[in-house]
Amino acid sequence: MAKVAIIGATGNVGRYTALAVSYIPYVSELLLFGRPGREEVLHGLAYDLQDSFAARGSQTDVKFSSTPKDLEGSDIIIVTSGVPRKEGQDRIDLAHENARMISEFAAMVGWYAPDAILFIVSNPVDVMTAVALKYSGMKPGQVIGLGTHLDSMRLKWNLSRFFDVHVSEVHTRIIGEHGDSMVPLWSATTIGGISIQNLPEFENLPEDRIMDNVMNAGSAIISRIGATVYGPGDAIATIVRTILGNEKRVLTVSTFISSEIHNIGDVCIGTPALLDKNGAKPLAINISEHEVDEFRKSVEKVRGITQEVIERLDEGC
């Protein structure tokens, strides 16, 4: 049985993530963690979750804390703390502001729970995953970000509607930045196990319109309700369940790649990775020439911003 901690549990994503994660059968303890001064809110949230557990007959223990030592013994620590973007902002605009708090939380996790899996959600998630990797001192496979898993799910949904098939019949993935330079892998997309390019409907597929929907999903939700909540929370819970259950599924998370995809790497970015109880192992894959070019651009963008953010942090700015 496992202990899962959520740093940033009082936020929009943190709250729903707590509920979604509590449905995973391997979770015996849920720790809601926040900064000092947030104890009353954390306490209220713990009470409310307890009521939910009572209502559904769950034995999961829910605790709250702002004391770093309480992170000890966690199997997974999810970080959802950070400033979210507002309408009109890009996720990248949050980089410098969120990097400082992520570096501090990562150092705390590296100290108190060095064997845990550290799972970053805060945006820009690829850059924050690299910051967390550096400042936690943990091994690359132990530090993951939500990456393009949610984007891949958004594409899956759009394709299931276009082909009019059950969503579980669609296998697809998006790699690269969780942002404007994301790359859909049409070469790795199948419907009912058949390559999408071999289906007659493929020639009418409105690729640009679908990718527009996927890329703008976050801002379309934020402009209407202020935050994305259920999509990220359930995407996070899938990844947590995969890791705790040692399920060895291949999901597209942000993780450090050295040269796995066509010799491109030295960055934390969304890439297909095998997930088990030890964390993420990026897969070496071959993709089409066009996809390689687009992925290289995405990597260069994310690597550049990551370097700038880490330099500023190292200078203490």
Ligand X SMILES: O=C(O)C[C@H](O)C(=O)O
Ligand Y SMILES: NC(=O)c1ccc[n+]([C@@H]2O[C@H](COP(=O)([O-])OP(=O)(O)OC[C@H]3O[C@@H](n4cnc5c(N)ncnc54)[C@H](O)[C@@H]3O)[C@@H](O)[C@H]2O)c1
Contacts with ligand Y by CB under 6 A lie at 8, 10-14, 34-35, 38, 80-85, 94, 98, 101, 121-123, 125, 146, 150, 178, 227-228, 232
Of 10, 122, 123, 172, the one binding ligand X (CB under 6 A) is: 123
Q: Minimum distance from CB of 251 to ligand X (Å)?
A: 16
**Residue 265, annotated ligand binder?**
no
Residues linked to residue 249 through DSSP beta bridges, in sequence order: 275
The letter for the amino acid at 207 is: E
Q: Of these residues, 149, 178, 262, 290, which one is catalytic?
A: 178
Closest by Cα among 224, 223, 225, 227 to 10: 227
Residue 241 contact among ligand Y, ligand X, none, beta carbon within 5 to 8 Å by kind: none
Q: Does 272 bind ligand X (CB under 6 A)?
A: no
CA atoms of 312 and 306, how far apart (whole Å)? 10
Q: Is 171 a catalytic residue?
A: no
Residue 10 contact among ligand X, ligand Y, none, beta carbon within 5 to 8 Å by kind: ligand Y
Contact set for ligand X, span 143-162 (CB under 6 A): 150
Q: Minimum distance from CB of 120 to ligand Y (Å)?
A: 8
CA atoms of 266 and 39, how far apart (whole Å)? 39
String marking each residue 192-221 x if it binds ligand X according to CB under 6 A = --------------------------x---
CA atoms of 235 and 148, how far apart (whole Å)? 10
Q: Minimum distance from CB of 51 to ligand Y (Å)?
A: 21
Q: Minimum distance from CB of 90 to ligand X (Å)?
A: 9
Q: E-assigned strands of the chain?
A: 2-7, 27-33, 61-65, 76-79, 117-120, 143-145, 170-171, 174-175, 183-184, 190-191, 194-195, 249-257, 267-276, 279-282
Cβ contacts of 274 within 8 Å, gap of 6 or more = 248, 249, 250, 280, 281, 283
Of 189, 228, 254, 271, the one binding ligand X (CB under 6 A) is: 228
Q: Which stretch binds ligand X (CB under 6 A): 74-82, 126-134, 226-234, 292-300?
A: 226-234
142 touches 279 (CB < 8 A): yes
CA atoms of 243 and 238, how far apart (whole Å)? 9
| Angle (CA) 242 248 249, round 5° | 70
Q: Does 91 bind ligand X (CB under 6 A)?
A: yes
Residue 11 contact among ligand X, ligand Y, none, beta carbon within 5 to 8 Å by kind: ligand Y
Nearest to ligand Y by Cβ — which residue? Answer: 11
Q: Binding site membership: which residues?
A: 8-14, 85, 91, 98, 121-123, 154
Active site residues: 178
